[in-house]
Structure 1
Amino acid sequence: MAPSAQSRHRTASRTPRSVRIAATVVAAALPVTAVAVSLDGGTPGATASPAPAAPATGPAVINDAFPTRDSADADTYVPSDESVWRDAVYDDAGNRLPNVEELKVHSPAMDRDIPVVTIRAKEDAANAPTIYLLNGADGGSGKANWLSQTTAIDFYGNRIGNVNVVIPMSGGFSYYTDWQQESVLDGDGNGNGGVQKWETFLTSELPGAMEQGHLGTSSDKRAIVGMSMTGSTSLVYAEHNPGMYDAVGSYSGCPATSGAGATAVDATLAMKGTGVTYEQMWGDRNGATARYNDAQVNVAELGDQQNIYVSSGTGLLGEHDVWSSPDVNRNLINESTVAGQGGPIEAVTNGCTHMFKAAADKAGVSDNITWNFHNTGTHQWAYWREDMYQSWPTLSAGLFGPESVADAQAVGDQAYDDYHASL
C-alpha cells in the first residue's frame, strides 16, 4: 500500500519513490546551478509591503474547445514547437479525448491568447470543484508538463471523476506572477500581448469565467497545485488571496524568492537565456514587490488556510534512480542527469522546504500543513506523480470535507500501488 501523507506536522518516512528522468525534464524544473543558492531567504514570518496596484482587467474570454488537433494546429496562437502536450489531448486520429479540452482563452490584462487544457468532471459535473495545476519552468511548452509526465487525465478524470482540472499550457519562466516590466516572454504565438500578468489572469480573470461560465459548475470550491518553479507560486496565491483556495499543494519548491533567495530565481530565469531578469519580474530583489511575492516572508498569511500539502525529497538516489530501473532504462544520459543534476537540485529544494517549515513553525501555521519529507528522491516528475496521489487526501479534505478523506486515501493508495506495479 502507498504510505499515507495525511498525518499533520511531521516528517514522513517512506520507501524510495520511483522516477522517470530525462534531460528535458530536469531542464524544465530547476537548473543545476541552483545548488549554489543561499538558503536564508528573507526574514521568516515577516510581513511584506501591501500588494501593488492591480492592472486593468476583466473576465477572461473562453472560446469553444477545438474539436480536432487539425483545427487547433490551424490556429497559430500556440507555436508548433510548443504544442507537444497536444499528444495527450487528442487521439491518434486527431480527435480530442473524452472529457479533455483545449481552450483558447483571452486574457484582458495581458491582451494575449493562452492555451488552457481542462479535464472535465464525468460525475456530478454540476457540483464539481476545480483544481488548478501549474506547470514548472517551461510552462508546458516542452515535454515537462502535467499532461506529458503524469497520469493526471486518468487520475483526476477517471479514478476520481468528480473534479474539474484546469491547466494553463503557457507561461514558461514566468513564475506565473505579475511582471513589472516588458520581457521577451511577452506575447502569444501570433505576436499579441503586453507585460505578463499571470496572477491577475489566474486569480481574477479566469476562475469565474471558467468555473461557473465554461464548466457550468455551481461549486465555489477550488484547489491549486504547483511543482518546482511553481511550488512557491501556489503558496503565494494562497497568501495573496485569503479564502480563495480550499486546498493547496506545493511539490519540491523554493518558497524563499527575495533577498538571498533570489539566487534560485536567477538560475531558473537564466535557463531562458538573455533578455529575462529578476528585475523585470519583481524589481529590486530586496524591494517591496519582491518581498510581497516571497512565500516564506509572508508565511503568516497562511494562518487561516487549511489543507496545505508541502513535499520535498532529499536529493539522494531512490530505487528508480538507479541504472537498472525502468525509468533510467540503462541510459547513460538519464543516469548522469539523475546523479549530477536532479540530486543536487532536490537537495536545494529540500533545504528551502525545511527553512519554510521553520518559518511556518515560528509563525504558528505548521499545523495547517501536511509535511511530506521523503527519505530519498531527486528533482523529477515521477516523484511529483507520487505526490499527486499522496496529496489527494489533503486536497479532498478541502474540496469535499473531512468525511471524504478515507475514500480519498483509498483512491490515492490504489493509484500509487498501480503505478508501482506498472514499472
Structure 2
Amino acid sequence: MRMTSRRPRAVALVTALACALASVAATPAQAAAVPDARADDGSHVVAQTTVDGDPRMLDLTVRSVGVGSYAMVRVILPAGWQAEPDRKWPAVYLLAGETRLQDYRGWTANTDVRRLADESGVLVVMPGSGSAGFFSDWWNYGKDIVANQWETFTAVEVPQLIDRGYRGDGRRAAAGLSLGGYGAVELAARRPGVFRFAGSFSGNLNPTGPYGELLTGAIVGSARLDPEALWGDRRREASRWDAHDPVVNADRLRGTELYLSTGNGLPGPFDGKLPIDVLPGAMLLEFLCSGQTIAMADRLNRLGVPVTSDFYGPGTHHWAYWQDQLHKTWPRMLRVLDAPAKTGEAS
C-alpha cells in the first residue's frame, strides 16, 4: 500500500501509536545444551540459553530457513520435564505483538505465565515474529526470495523443532495479543490442525475491512519496511490480501475452539497507572482492533461457527487487560489440550 497525501495525519497517528509501548529489555541468560533436532526444511536451534538461571525457561536461537536469518523462541518447560525423559507434552503457544509493542520476551515480562506454567503440565512456547512479520510468508514483490516467511516459521518450523527437540506431542493451543491475536486466528485458518484453540486478545483481525489497510500499512511502516512487500498492493493483489484476512476465511475455522476479546478503547479499570503520553495511542489502537474483532465475531456467528467472545467494554491496548484475558483463557486451553491426540493431527 502506498501512502497518499490525503491521509498523512491519520497514518502518522496510527504509526505513532504502534510505537507507543516500550520494548522489553533483554534478560540475562546462560548457555545450555542444544538438542539435535531439525525441521523438515533444515531449520534448527543453534543456541540455547537459560534465562535468569532458571533451568526450565530457555531462549532458543533458531536458524530459520523460511525467515532467512536467525529468530528467537522462548520456552518454559513443564515441571516434570527433566524427571520424565520419555514423556511428551502438549503446548500452549503465546504469540507476541509487533516488536515495537513486545517481542518473544513480553509474555514473561508482563504476565504471570511462568507461575501458570508451574501449575500446568504443558510446554509454553513464545516465538518471535520479526519487527512486523504479520505471521505471514511475505510476497516480497513477487520475487523468488526465501525470506520473511513468518507463517512457515511459526506454524511449521517451530512446532517441528518443539516436537522433535523438546518432546511436544502435537497437541497445541495458541493465543496472542494485538498482532499476535491476528496470528493465532489467521494461522488456525490457514493451517488447519496445527492449533486446536485460537485466542485473540485485542487482535487486528480484518486487514481488508474498514481502517484495516491503514493499520496494516502503519504497523509495517513503523518497522521501516515497505507495506507492499507483505501482500502487495491492496487493489492489484486483492486476492492475496483476502487470503490473509481471518474475517474473509472464517469458515476455515470450523473445528477450532475460538476465543475473541477486546475493549472498546475508552479508559477502563486497569488504565489508572498508564502513562499519560501512552494513553491516547492505547485508546485509539484498541478502538481500531475492537471494530475488527467485532466484525470477526459477527462473521463467525453468521456462518454458525462456534466462538466465545468477551467484549468487556472500557479498556485500552495494554498488558493489564491481556494478563486478565490470559487467566480467562488458560483453563480453556488446558481443557482443549487434555483431549487425546486426533488421528492425522499436524506435527
* TM tier, smaller: 0.7 to 0.9
Question: What is the DSSP-based 3-state SS (H/G/I as helix, E as strand, rest coil) of the residue aligned with 1:335?
Answer: coil
Pairs within 5 Å for 1:49-128: 58-66=41-49, 89-90=51-52, 96-123=53-80, 126-128=87-89
Q: Which has the higher contact order (CA 8 A, sep 6+)?
A: 1
| 1:87-109 Cα distance to aligned partner (Å, 9 max, x none) | xx22xxxxx31301111211122
CA–CA separation in structure 1 for the residues paired with 2:209 and 2:297: 18
Q: Distance in 2 between matches of 1:316 and 1:122?
A: 40
2:215 paired with 1:264: yes
Cα distance in 2 for partners of 1:243, 1:378 equals: 32
How far the C-alpha of 1:154 sits from its partner, in A, is 2.0
Q: What is the Cα deviation at residue 336 of structure 1?
A: 3.8
Q: 1:140 offset after TM fit, Å? A: 7.4
Q: CA deviation at 1:200?
A: 0.9
State the one-letter code of the partner of 1:308: L
Counterpart-to-counterpart distance in 1, 2:310 and 2:158: 30
Write the distance in 1 (CA, Å) between the matches of 2:325 and 2:102.
Answer: 22
CA-to-aligned-CA distance 1:28-59 (integer Å, 9 cap, x gap)? 7xxxxxxxxxxxxxxxxxxxxxxxxxxx9614
User: Is the 8 Å Cα contact of residues 77 and 124 (structure 2) preserved in structure 1?
Assistant: yes
Contact 1:257 1:294 in 2 (8 A): yes
- Residue of structure 1 aligned with 2:334, choices 381, 396, 414: 396
Which structure 2 residues correspond to residues 265-304 of structure 1 after superposition, within 5 A? 265-273=216-224, 276-286=225-235, 287-304=238-255
Equivalent residue, structure 2, for 1:386: 324
Give the aligned partner of residue 93 of structure 1: none
Over the aligned positions, Cα root-mean-square deviation in angstroms equals: 2.7
**What secondary structure is seen at the aligned counterpart in 2 of 1:233?**
helix
Paired residue for 1:310, among 236, 260, 272?
260
Choose from 140, 143, 153 the match for 1:181: 140
Instruction: Describe the SS at the equivalent of 1:362.
Output: helix
Task: Write out aligned runs for 1:354-393 (5 A).
Answer: 354-365=294-305, 367=306, 369-393=307-331
Moved over 3 A (4+): 22-28, 139-144
- The answer to whether the 8 A contact 2:96-2:102 is kept is no
Q: Residue 159 of structure 1: which of 119, 129, 136 is its match?
A: 119
Alignment of 1:317-332 (within 5 A): 317-322=267-272, 327-328=273-274
Secondary structure of the 1:105 match is: strand
Alpha-carbon distance between aligned partners in 1 of 2:76 and 2:101, rounded to the nearest angstrom: 16
- Matched residue, 1:228: 178
Q: Partner of 1:65: helix, strand, or coil?
A: strand
Mapped to 2, the partners of 1:165 and 1:200 lie a distance apart of: 19
Give per-residue Cα distances to partners, 1:228-263, cap 9 Å, x unaligned: 112111111001111221111111012111264211
Is the 1:57–1:109 Cα contact (8 Å) retained in structure 2? no
In 2, Cα distance between equivalents of 1:371 and 1:27: 28
Which amino acid counterpart does residue 61 of structure 1 have in structure 2?
Answer: H
Normalised by the size of structure 2, how large is the TM-score?
0.79
Which whole-Å CA distance do the structure 2 matches of 1:27 and 1:100 have between them?
23
- 5+ residue gaps, structure 1: 1-21, 29-55, 68-88, 91-95, 183-192, 329-333, 403-423
**Equivalent residue number for residue 197 of structure 1:** 149
Structure 1: distance between partners of 2:66 and 2:40: 5
- Kindly tell me: are residues 269 and 343 of structure 1, through their superposed partners in 2, closer, same or farther at Cα, counting changes over 3 Å? same
Structure 2 regions of 5+ residues with no counterpart?
1-16, 24-38, 341-347
Judged with a 3 Å threshold, the aligned counterparts in structure 2 of structure 1 residues 378 and 141 are, in CA distance, closer, same or farther, namely closer
Distance change >3 Å, CA 278–CA 23, structure 1 → 2: closer
In the alignment, is the contact (CA less than 8 A) between 1:253 and 1:349 conserved in 2? yes
Query: Deviation at 1:25?
Result: 5.7
Specify which structure has the higher proportion of strand. 2
Q: Distance in 1 between matches of 2:197 and 2:103?
A: 28
Return the match for 1:341 from 277, 281, 286: 281
Q: 1:144 to 1:63 in 2, by over 3 A?
A: closer
Q: Do the aligned residues in 1 keep the contact of 2:266 with 2:314 (CA within 8 Å)?
A: yes
- 2-side partners of 1:139 and 1:105: how far apart? 21
User: Is 1:26 aligned to residue 21 of structure 2?
Assistant: yes
Query: Secondary structure of 2:174's match?
Result: strand
Q: Do the aligned partners of 1:308 and 1:394 also contact (CA within 8 Å) in 2? A: no
Q: 1:356 to 1:112 in 2, by over 3 A?
A: same
C-alpha contact (below 8 Å) 2:260/2:297 kept by paired residues: no
Q: Secondary structure at the match of 2:162?
A: helix
TM-score normalized with structure 1 length: 0.65
Q: Secondary structure at the match of 1:99?
A: strand
Identity within the alignment, %: 27
Change in CA separation of 1:356 and 1:140 when aligned onto 2, cut-off 3 Å: closer
Amino acid at match of 2:138: W
In the comparison of the two structures, how many residue pairs are matched?
A: 299
